[in-house]
Structures are given as structure tokens and as C-alpha cells.
Homo-oligomer: A and B are copies of this chain.
Amino acid sequence: MRNDQREVNNLRPIKITKNYISHPEGSVLIEVGNTKVICNASIEDRVPPFMRGQGKGWITAEYAMLPRATAQRNIRESSKGKVSGRTMEIQRLIGRALRAVVDLDKIGERTVWVDCDVIQADGGTRTASITGAFIAVVLAFGKLLETKAISKMPVRDYLAAISVGVLPDGKEILDLNYEEDFQAHVDMNIVMTGSGEFVEIQGTGEEATFSNKQLQAMLGLAEEGLQQIVEVQKELIGNLADRIGETNPAK
């Protein structure tokens, strides 16, 4: 049993509140255990300079934490005047993951800005951000469909993310909370599609290493957990669920 009485393969409770903030085209508050992230998707009617004139769109993401999202207050990155390496890694990951399931050719010269702001942190903030951002993006595209700015849902498949890891006793576990993450010898983040393909695998031993067998065990836990999360996503987006994948050639 883990420090919060979960089995090794148990997810923490997930709660996603749609339309949490009123201004963005898509907005959710995602809660995964005690981790809480506001995910807003904004549609801008132009693309960055390096993409102009190609007739396709772009998705980019930014990630931040409130200073007191954590047990110790962190200095605000705007006060420091620069974004940390950790923040950059995470926001690049979120953007890349979303681009893997969106048909950028089908959204016109538009940019989707995804903002993931962690208001309370207890481990897994980057994976919660991806899972929540996916919904925010689908909702934002829902708005474009409503106004007939686009004619098909440009999202090819579901997208969700979860962490797995290896505790000092060698046990592989799913969905690490902060305390577990702090202790773990191996920390791995997996991003997958609804059909079970990998989008991103990032596994790291901090002052430690891991075997192929441990890798396989972690991948198994992640796959199981991600299927459950995708079910939550499907239910939440209601009617829009039928439209996921409608730009896929096969469909």
C-alpha cells in the first residue's frame, strides 16, 4: 500500500470542470488528487512568422505555477525575468503532445495558445496539464465548429498523460503524488493517444538507472491508467466525442 492507501496501479481521483474561466474559447479546471491546473485554450487568427503563408495552423503551450502552488513559496518567474529550464521543458512537451493529435492543416492560419496554470501542486502537474489541455483544445475547436469557422473537428484522437515510477523498494507505481515523486529512483512520463499509440516517453533516473524489465512494467501500468483517463475525457466532452477523428483519412 502507498502513502495515500492506493494500490500500485491506482489513479488518483480525477475531476474536470468545463468552462471554468469565461473568456477563453476552451477552459477547464482539472484536479488530479490534490493537483489543480487551470487549462485555457485561446484561438488567435494568425500564426507565428515562421509559419505564415502555408495555410496551416499552430499550437503552442505555456505552463506556470502560482508561487504558492507548492509547500514552499517559489519566486515568480516574471520577477526573476526569465523562465526556468523546467518550465521550458514542460511547455515544449505540452505543445508537442497536442500537435501530435491535431490536424494543423485543417484549422487555417490560426494559433491555439494553451495556458496551463498550476494553482495547487501535488505531483504530476505536467501530465495533468496535458490531459486537461486536450479537453480545453477540443472545447475551443467546438466553438470554431459552432461558428462554422471550420467544418470538421481537427482532432484525430484522444490524448492523455500520466506518470509512472519506481520506488526505492523497486516497486513500479502509477500516478505519483509529490511525496512519491520526491522519493522515486525513476520518474517517467508517458503521453498516449486514445488508440494506445505513444506520443512521448520521458524516463529518467536521477542518480539511478533502470532495466528493460522495469521499463516494460512501467509502460504496462501507464497504458492501463491512460485508458481509464481517456474514458473520463470521452464522457466529459459529450456530443463532441462523436467528432473526434473525423479528419482521419480512414474515417
What is the interface of chain A, defined by CB distance below 8 A to chain B? 21-24, 27, 34, 38, 40, 42, 44, 62, 64, 66-71, 73, 76-83, 85, 87-89, 91-92, 96, 99-101, 104, 113, 115, 117, 119-120, 188, 193, 196-212, 215, 219
Contact = CB atoms under 8 A, between A and B. Distances in A.
A215 B82 CA distance: 36
Given A23-B120, A64-B76, A201-B201, 14 more contacts: A22-B120, A38-B119, A66-B115, A67-B113, A73-B115, A78-B82, A85-B85, A89-B89, A100-B209, A193-B209, A197-B211, A199-B209, A200-B204, A200-B205
Given A21-B120, A64-B78, A99 B201 contact: no
A50 to B, nearest CB: 12
A83 B79 contact: yes
Contacts of A96: 204, 206
18 contacts: A40-B67, A42-B67, A64-B78, A66-B115, A76-B78, A76-B115, A78-B78, A78-B83, A78-B87, A100-B207, A196-B211, A198-B205, A198-B211, A198-B212, A201-B201, A201-B215, A202-B202, A212-B219
Give this chain's copy count.
6
A117 B212 contact: no
A73 B38 CA distance: 15
B62 A42 contact: no
Given A79-B83, A209-B197, A69 B120 contact: no
A34 B22 contact: yes
A250 to B, nearest CB: 14
A44 B73 contact: yes
A196 B27 CA distance: 40
